[in-house]
């Protein structure tokens, strides 16, 4: 059994986290925010007020967020003229 010290470092927020081929990953209690374009997601990730609300980027246009953060992210994206959808939650 590998020790905790042998674990790979966690990816940074702007790296895409992809499972290995054939691997299924379940994120219980999280929401996925999906933007219409990669540029919209990058704008969110680069905003110092909003980036801390994003847990991990999981695709070119998708990121994991806590359900409690999703409404604020949607409001801020809409204010900036960008669009997104949220799915999942507790």
Q: Residue 16 gets which letter from DSSP?
A: B
Q: Is the pLDDT of residue 62 over 70?
A: yes
- Which residues touch 48 (CB under 8 Å, ≥6 apart)? none
Q: Is the pLDDT of residue 20 over 60?
A: yes
Question: Domain-by-domain residue ranges, the chain?
Answer: 28-88
**Tokens (6 digits) for 46:** 């680069």
Architecture of the domain whose range is 28-88: 2-Layer Sandwich (3.30)
Q: Which one, of 13, 84, 18, lies nearest residue 54 by Cα?
A: 13
Q: Is the pLDDT of residue 87 over 80?
A: yes
- pTM for the model: 0.63
Averaged pLDDT of the chain: 77
What band does 57 get if pLDDT is binned at 50, 70 and 90?
Answer: very high
Per-residue confidence (pLDDT) for residue 31, from 0 to 100: 87
Per-residue confidence (pLDDT) for residue 29, from 0 to 100: 76
The Cα–Cα gap between 50 and 47 comes to 5
């Amino acid at each position: 059994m590998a020790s905790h010290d042998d674990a790979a470092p966690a990816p940074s927020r702007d790296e895409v986290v992809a499972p290995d081929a054939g691997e299924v990953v379940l994120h219980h209690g999280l929401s996925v925010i999906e933007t219409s374009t990669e540029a919209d997601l990058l704008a969110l990730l680069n905003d110092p007020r909003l980036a801390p609300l994003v847990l991990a980027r999981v695709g070119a246009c998708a990121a994991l967020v806590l359900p409690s953060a999703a409404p604020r992210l949607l409001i801020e994206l809409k204010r900036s003229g960008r669009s997104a959808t949220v799915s999942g939650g507790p």
